[in-house]
Chains A and B, each alone.
Chain A
Amino acid sequence: MTMDCDAFERQVLEGSLTPEAEGHQQGCASCWAFARDVGVLVSAAAPALSHDERAALDRLEADTWRALPRPRPKARPSWLGYAAAAGLGALVTSAGFMAARPVREVVVERLVSLPAPVAELDPEEPNLVTDEVFFDVTWPDFSEGETR
């Protein structure tokens, strides 16, 4: 199979030439010029990094790390924390035991104290019925309370 110019160009653009394509390039002036132009174009289109760009890239990793969210430090349990946890655990355990303990029946005795019986009153008692004392109460006189 002979290689035509279109197939050669495709290989140049894909970046690798078969021996057959290299042979074609030797005998075809336009394909030779195409390959040369593509090489020059590609190298001119992607120039090397300048000094400033290289310096910016050197700083980039460190700057990126600085901008990244810091990992949240894992909380280290302190002795105080252990003690608090143990206390809480003991509290919960005892509460559990209390809740699980069988309930004793409590008998409540009700004590009632009754007042002493009152003697029957006799309506015919003289003090209450006939032996009454009446006082005549009137408005005070105008002269009452004067000091002269």
Chain B
Amino acid sequence: MLRLVPALPASDKALCDAFLAGDRAAFGVLVRRYQEPVFRVVRRYAGSVDEAKDLVQRAFLQAFEAAQRTLPRLAATPGESAFKAWLFRIAVNLGKNQARDGARWATVPLETSADALSRPADALEALERAEAEALTRLAVERLPPRQREVFSLRVDAALPFADVAEVLGISEGNAKSHFHYAVKRLRAEVHALASANPRAKERP
């Protein structure tokens, strides 16, 4: 009996090989695959949605332009995550440059309270959630740079620690350690901020 088996998504490595062989559509698949996690990471460095989108686009353009000389080297690297780590490294560096030039780390809540309140769901709960998110973002901004980078790559991009380490050029143990300290510090910071803000007292 003939059974239709859904095709497995092509691996990054296969897509990189196809792109090097002249298939531009393969690069499009990589863009679709990583645009959202890259966006989630760089929005912390951007002051607006357009700025975040611009950063993601620049990251992909840089990757495209450097692909011919870099992808063959990455292809020789063992493991499947070489392209992903390389792309995130480009994005994080662009984000850091942007934050340095603009002397800011995103302070604008990317989902505003007004957005949350416009939903038909329980407005008070939405407001509390928005406040808790705002407090947490504020606490993330106060983290030391390295802890913030590790936290963002782990939480926003959901990268495994091995990939976080590769993106930042540190050891996996070091990445875990930074994340551990970041979470403990965030927890304490959010508790402190929440106790100063009685509306958000219920949140961590």
How many angstroms between the C-alpha atoms of A45 and B158 in the bound complex? 12
Residues of chain A within 8 A (CB-CB) of B180 are 9-10, 13
Q: Is the CB of A45 within 8 A of B151?
A: yes
Complex CA distance for A40 and B187, rounded to whole angstroms: 10
Q: Contact check: which of A14, A38, A63, A71 meets B187 at CB < 8 Å?
A: A38
Chain A positions within 8 Å of B18 at CB level? none
**A123 to B176 Cα, complex, angstroms:** 131
Contact A67 B39 (CB under 8 A): no
Across the interface, B111 reaches (CB within 8 A) one of A9, A36, A45, A50, namely A50
By size class, the interface of chain B is 35 or more
Size of the A side of the interface (Cβ < 8 Å), in residues, is: 33
Q: Are A50 and B61 in contact (CB under 8 A)?
A: no
B101, CB-defined interface residue at 8 Å: no
Our pick among B36, B60, B140, B203 for the contact of A40 (Cβ within 8 Å) is B203
Residues of B within 8 A of A44 (CB): 129, 132-133, 135-136, 203
A2 on the B face (CB < 8 A): no
User: In the bound complex, what is the Cα–Cα distance between A13 and B24 (angstroms)?
Assistant: 39
Q: Please state if A61 and B61 are interface contacts (CB–CB under 8 Å).
A: no
A52 at the interface (CB under 8 A from B): yes
Min Cβ gap A13→B in Å is 5
Residue B17 lies at the interface, judged by CB distance under 8 Å to chain A = no
Chain B contacts with A in 98-153, Cβ cutoff 8 A? 110-112, 115, 129, 132-133, 135-137, 140, 151
Q: In the complex the two chains form, is B39's CB within 8 Å of A51's CB?
A: no
Given contacts A40-B132, A64-B31, contact A47 B111 (CB under 8 A): yes
Question: Does A7 reach chain B (CB closer than 8 Å)?
Answer: no
Cβ–Cβ contact B32 & A61, under 8 A: yes
Partner of A38, one of B57, B112, B183: B183
Say yes or no for A4: interface residue by CB 8 A criterion.
Answer: no
Query: Which B residues are within 8 Å of any A CB, using their own CB?
Result: 24, 28, 31-32, 35-36, 39-40, 43, 49-50, 52-53, 56-57, 60-61, 64-65, 110-112, 115, 129, 132-133, 135-137, 140, 151, 155-156, 161, 176, 179-180, 183, 186-187, 190, 203-204
Q: Which 6 A-B pairs have the closest CB atoms?
A: A44-B136, A50-B111, A56-B53, A37-B204, A44-B133, A45-B136
Sample 5 A-B pairs with CB under 8 A, ordered by A number. A9-B180, A10-B180, A13-B179, A49-B111, A60-B56
Chain A residues close to B by CB (< 8 Å): 9-10, 13-14, 34, 36-38, 40-42, 44-53, 56-57, 59-61, 63-65, 67-69, 71
